[in-house]
Amino acid sequence: MSTVAQPVTATESSARQSVTLAGALNRALGDALEADERVVVFGEDVGPLGGVFRVTDGLAARFGESRVWDSPLAESGIVGTAIGMAMNGLRPVVEMQFDAFAYPAFEQITSHLAKMRNRTSGRVGLPVVVRIPYGGGIGGVEHHCDSSEVYYTHTAGLRVVTCATPADGYRLLRQAIDSPDPVIFLEPKRRYWSKETAELTVDGPALHEARVVRPGRDVTVIAYGGMLATALEAAEMGRAEGYDLEVVDLRSLNPFDDDTVTASVRRTGRAVVVHEAAGFCGYGAEVAARLTEQCFHHLAAPILRVTGLDIPYPPPKLEAHHLPNADRILDAVARLQWEDEPGA
């Protein structure tokens, strides 16, 4: 992996507008196609249909079938084709229709896409973006609601990012397409239709940086993707219980922004990590380990995790019991050894 992501040099911006996450991602793809003729977009049904979630809506008509096209239903072939294109100077952006649909492409991603730069001693980079709608909360079933982030974060050579809001989705996707490294771009399906009034611009945190989205005094709640809004909901509910929660949006899962996250935890002295994926060997385990190693003498309580259950993704009627919610986050906050506080 290149050590530093190349910055997006052009700054496209627009007036503030009400936009959904899906709309912001569509805008990012359109602006990238407009700005760089090397960018191509392909995948299953991304052409005239505009994708299952309409993220590519209108792009095929606007840029033509030589820039945006439908692929066969063969995920391994999609990524393998993108690798070949990138080796010959293009910047492919491919879509895996659902999270678990990407598993047939796993060998191409982990054995070739991630390894090529190291395999060639830095001579061949692969600027490929693999977009993956992921996570639950849409009433889907298994293969349509997986949180598969750790499969990719465990693979050296991949950047793994996930967006949580429309404005940051636009910024992250433009930065990912501009990166010289392969990027796994995770899109939380449950937030595709969430709206925000914002200016869509590449200005802001870099591709590898986390951000504090809500300052607080008592506990750092660390979240990403679809769980960021849930963490913010918990923070608002926590006011009534006397907790002032700081919320950090990780954005980049690999590399991990140690500076931003450890600064927050050292300030609050307590931390809760939230994600949809199963807890056992989940991403939160890595976060808790890193923070313990770097913040041990600042911690007033063990770092806790609020995660999905250690089960295959449940049927739609049961997913509310599986997915973390604000009440479960506040239950974890209440278990952070407040009884040890002076005067408690």
Catalytic residues: 144
Residue 94 gets the label, from left (phi > 0), alpha (psi -120 to 50) or beta, of beta
Query: Strand, helix or coil at 164?
Result: coil
CA–CA separation, 90 and 129 (whole Å): 11
Query: Strand, helix or coil at 134?
Result: strand
CA–CA separation, 33 and 181 (whole Å): 18
Helix or strand run (H / E) with residue 53: none
Residue 332 gets the label, from left (phi > 0), alpha (psi -120 to 50) or beta, of alpha
Residues 6+ apart with CB under 8 A from 271: 219, 220, 221, 222, 265, 288, 291, 295, 299, 303, 304
Q: HSE, CB side, 13 Å, CA atoms: give it for residue 42.
A: 25
